[in-house]
Amino acid sequence: MPEDDVARVAELLRGAGKVVVFTGAGVSAESGVPTFRGAGGLWEGRPVEQLASPQGFVADPVVVWEFYQQRRANLTRVKPNPAHEVLARWQYRFTSYTIATQNVDGLHQAAGAQHVLELHGSIWVIRCSACGRARVDRTVPFPALPPRCETCGGIERPGVVWFGESLPEEVLDAATAAAGSCDVLVVVGTSAVVYPAAGLVHVASAAGATVVEVNPEASAISHIAQHSLRGPAGAVLPTVDSLLGEA
């Protein structure tokens, strides 16, 4: 990671008023949360359509729940890393600051971030697929799978967004509005292949924002980014933060 790139990004952020951070699985990788795609990813050798689609859930809710229960169990053992911590601290630095995450793990909030837009829902929310009753539930493991709704006896599902499902409208609207009016969009740890979330980068870029990417690898939006900081978020973001100095 060339030092002058980091310095230029720090300079850019020092002059910025409105900042949006758009994150993906890579921001949690150094906490011990696997990413989805690529070697060692959650989906390596697994049928994605079976585990992350409403059709897969209807076909076999227990298999899908076992996948999510394993991830929930792992999440009880991990903690936020320095990238989450820097991103949480930045909420006190800028006039306007938004974290829009594709992650369902809750680690931004665990690091102290207050207003996180969860584009793909939360693994800690459980929703009844029959009556829609939703609740936060951190039980791990459930005594039996699938968990059942206390109100109607229906099968409960993880409160996440699967392929073919709409993103929560107010969350996507808020993220789109923030991206469309920010000075700088910082894209951290996402392959940026999943839409409409990845569309936030295009929204920001078209509205004239400077796009900064933090990722050890190139992603689908690298060609749009003015600055690409190639390294792990847990090392890159603290370096940028230290160059930013006191708020």
What residues make contact with ligand BJW under the rule CB under 6 A?
A: 24-26, 29-30, 35-37, 41, 52, 102, 104, 120, 160-166, 189-191, 193-196, 214-217, 219, 232-233
CA–CA separation, 124 and 127 (whole Å)? 10
- Which of the residues 116 through 135 are near Zn ion (CB under 5 A)? 128, 130-131, 133
Is the link from the previous residue into 216 a cis peptide, with omega within 30 of 0?
Answer: no
- The two structure tokens encoding residue 246: 């006191």
Q: State the nearest-atom distance from the C-beta of 127 to Zn ion, in Å.
A: 9
Residue 151 as a binder of Zn ion (CB under 5 A): the answer is yes
Nearer to ligand BJW (CB atom), residue 36 or residue 65: 36
Active site residue ranges: 120
Length of the chain: 247
Neighbour tally for 138: CB within 10 Å: 11
Among the listed ranges 20-28, 33-41, 109-117, 141-149, the one in contact with Zn ion (CB under 5 A) is 141-149
Nearer to ligand BJW (CB atom), residue 88 or residue 161: 161
**Closest C-alpha among 239, 172, 234 to residue 26:** 234
Q: State the nearest-atom distance from the C-beta of 191 to ligand BJW, in Å.
A: 3
Q: How far is CA 226 from the centre of its chain?
A: 21
**Closest C-alpha among 127, 5, 110, 124 to residue 54:** 127
Of the residues 58, 59, 152, 193, which one makes contact with Zn ion according to CB under 5 A: 152
Of the residues 41, 154, 216, 238, which one makes contact with Zn ion according to CB under 5 A: 154
Contact map string, positions 39 to 68, toward Zn ion, x by CB under 5 A: ------------------------------
Q: List C-alpha distances in Å: 84 to 11, 15, 244.
A: 21, 22, 17
Output Rg (C-alpha) for the chain, integer angstroms.
18
13 — phi, psi (to 5°)? -70, -30
Size of the site for Zn ion (CB under 5 A): 8
Q: State the nearest-atom distance from the C-beta of 143 to Zn ion, in Å.
A: 18
Nearer to ligand BJW (CB atom), residue 35 or residue 98: 35
Q: State the nearest-atom distance from the C-beta of 180 to ligand BJW, in Å.
A: 19
Q: How far is CA 121 from the centre of its chain?
A: 9
Neighbour tally for 55: CB within 10 Å: 11
Q: Which residues bind Zn ion (CB under 5 A)?
A: 128, 130-131, 133, 149, 151-152, 154
